[in-house]
Structure 1
């Protein structure tokens, strides 16, 4: 210690004889170590092996628990998107006669619905109903007419599909059934019709219900044969449905459950007249369900004409136009003639591996055809879907894109809504759409299921009339607004066209309609 004199050993005395506090502690440790070593030797080998085995088991169990915990955490993160359409935290507004009654309380689990096991069989992969399902089922199962405003990927198909199945089972509980369908689902595009059909076919199979999907661009004969053999559910596009009705092949007099999916898109595409014709052929005593991403004037008028005076209306999120905030929006003001080379440069940036999914949007069918050839000639593996292609080719292109064997797809707006295309990393708008609403739906193909996405958009002089609306969309989502875009002006005109009813709710219901030009095609113009 400091201040004390330490005695040194005398000559001839070994150093080990002198013990400082440090050396004393060291010796004690050595003695203890020897004792422990001696003790270890005395433990039988079998006991040592048993202890070692137990330790290994404990370690393995700890690792398994940690892995299980990690899986659960990942599952919890993914589930709101997979089963709830990413809307678990969005505002839900329910209005309509008796909406506040206890019997219409939102479901918190599938079991709470008290539906038969075979009906809920298609829901077994989901943890709980999505918001649109949990709020709409109590009303639909009670026979109420319903309007649902919800974005793509919200679980809408099963939201109307499960109640439709229950409706048909109650109608046919005698077991005899009928040759004519009881349920009708109208869709604006072939691809969405096929997607709905896949879901309803799987959901109806355990209940013994048969469904058929009818659309233009393919042979009528297999569709006619299936209808004549007897079906419970018909899913179709307006053009082919009308054709089959006028040919006396399809009779809708027994249809008492009717669904209009993507109603706003259906009317935007010029299908109002055939939709009215088809609805007039269904049973006068029917349950009507209408789903729409927005609520323009003409959809509102259609609902007033064909639904009960007091339908239930469920809004998930908002009726207003808003872009997905998980998508990074890049808007590039560009000369029209520079787009081809710029597209190649972007593909070299975003699609260098040629393995990730990239979706390129064109405005017209002829433009999509040209882009597909242009990209293929320059060594890119690309496919396309548009109205000029036969349905078999469209289905094949979409399948190749979905499975990833050809992850570069050129499409018109037939792919902008409703389609469940997983893991699209990048959307490139080669041509800006005719409306900002379609722009929002296009870029919504990426940034899904909680993932981030990129939308790169070409904006040209010809699009300047939509600059103000696009600026608003970008600002609402907290995106960068390029200076070149604001040079076109940021004024937003109030529109009286049905295309923009969702933007300006103050437009009167009796506002005059804009003249719409429609193009002849079997089922869709894109």
Structure 2
């Protein structure tokens, strides 16, 4: 199939051709006709499957066809809600690129930066707004944003939105939009809480499920290292020195873990950038820019900070900490080996992460190759570490001498 067969108009087809997209991806093939028919949809698809265009192209088409001839201040007709700033910026860039030959105006609002420039853009009038939940509600409270004319609401990366605690914000945003709107929900995974959200806000949705596990398995050479938790930093230094060729994205579970690994790599003279939630928006954008421009060959990130970020020509992914959700593993390794390229993923597994490997292999229906020639091997008999919480040094119920004296206190 080609994009013409999806009944897209000439201005949009021209913009798509200039991006060198020849044929729609499976998610675009399935979603675009349904969106153009005005149906609500729930789509399970990972980053890298072309899902942004799956809703951006039909939204641009519908708004272009219904454009009012008199431009009396554009009203927000399409609202895209995204969990992270980086993803919101990327989505708006996609709308700008695909809508290049239409007169439709799009903008993006997100927290962590001053409001004034965003307010100035909104006051000029916009057709399409991309927003993170917190900043959107702040601006709505100030009467800067009016959602009374929204025709299409998109909730992108819904599972991450809920993981980040935005459930109440999302429900409030949905209620602020007109009841007759079309709602499109996109999510990398569909856990029960996403199903609950979909049931409460979507009207008879069509479900589209794309499992990219086989694609990731085919394009990415996956390697597994069993190693003690205490030796993971040494093993990463060994791989960077002797094995890894090209750039690498390293995933860690926590912000503290990101910072700790960064300090070690910097001491060993590696050029490193990091992404996590405690960094300001400007710092995160600059870090990503330097990595993309090859000023640094290593990027260390948490899942939340890296979600939805597109990095062209990524050579390697390293799972320093294995994720406890198997779909997240697929999501991570799928960032390399894109657009017909091949890539390599390295995963470190300590004794307490063995269960995660079993779940991942079950999901992928594929055995991950174990590297036996490992300078820091894990003892097969090693037991998971159990962290006991330290209690009080005093015996339970023991009172201090002062409290034993029944003194009358003034409070």
Gaps of 5+ in 1: 1-107, 490-526
Contact 2:8 2:58 in 1 (8 A): no
1:161 to 38, 56, 68: 56
Residues 477 and 467 from structure 1, CA distance in 2 versus in 1: closer, same or farther, beyond 3 angstroms? closer
* 1:323-359 deviation line (CA, Å, top 9, x unaligned): 533222222222222222221111112346xxx2111
Corresponding residue pairs, total: 376
Superposition map of 1:111-150 within 5 A:
111-124=4-17, 125-150=20-45
CA distance in 1, matches of 2:33, 2:168: 32
Q: Which residue of 1 aligns with 2:389?
A: none
Q: Which residue of 2 aligns with 1:342?
A: 235
Residues 384 and 278 from structure 1, CA distance in 2 versus in 1: closer, same or farther, beyond 3 angstroms? same
Q: Which residue of 2 aligns with 1:379?
A: 269
* 1:435-456 deviation line (CA, Å, top 9, x unaligned): 2222221122212223222211
Larger Rg: 1
Matched residue of 1:290: which SS?
strand
Q: CA deviation at 1:297?
A: 1.7
Residues 292 and 324 from structure 1, CA distance in 2 versus in 1: closer, same or farther, beyond 3 angstroms? farther
CA distance in 2, matches of 1:473, 1:458: 18
Q: Which residue of 2 aligns with 1:477?
A: 366
Q: CA deviation at 1:113?
A: 3.5
Q: Which residue of 2 aligns with 1:313?
A: 207
Matched residue of 1:313: which SS?
strand
Q: CA RMSD in A?
A: 2.5
* 1:56-77 deviation line (CA, Å, top 9, x unaligned): xxxxxxxxxxxxxxxxxxxxxx
CA distance in 1, matches of 2:72, 2:58: 18
Q: Which residue of 2 aligns with 1:182?
A: 77
Contact 2:48 2:334 in 1 (8 A): no
Q: Which residue of 1 aligns with 2:316?
A: 426
CA distance in 1, matches of 2:142, 2:256: 31
Gaps of 5+ in 2: 373-377, 384-411
Superposition map of 1:186-205 within 5 A:
186-205=81-100
Residues 129 and 436 from structure 1, CA distance in 2 versus in 1: closer, same or farther, beyond 3 angstroms? closer
Normalised by the length of structure 1, the TM-score is 0.66
2:181 to 273, 286, 291: 286
Superposition map of 1:364-443 within 5 A:
364-414=254-304, 416-443=306-333
Superposition map of 1:235-254 within 5 A:
235-254=130-149
Normalised by the length of structure 2, the TM-score is 0.84
CA distance in 1, matches of 2:306, 2:327: 10
Q: CA deviation at 1:292?
A: 1.9
Q: CA deviation at 1:487?
A: 6.4
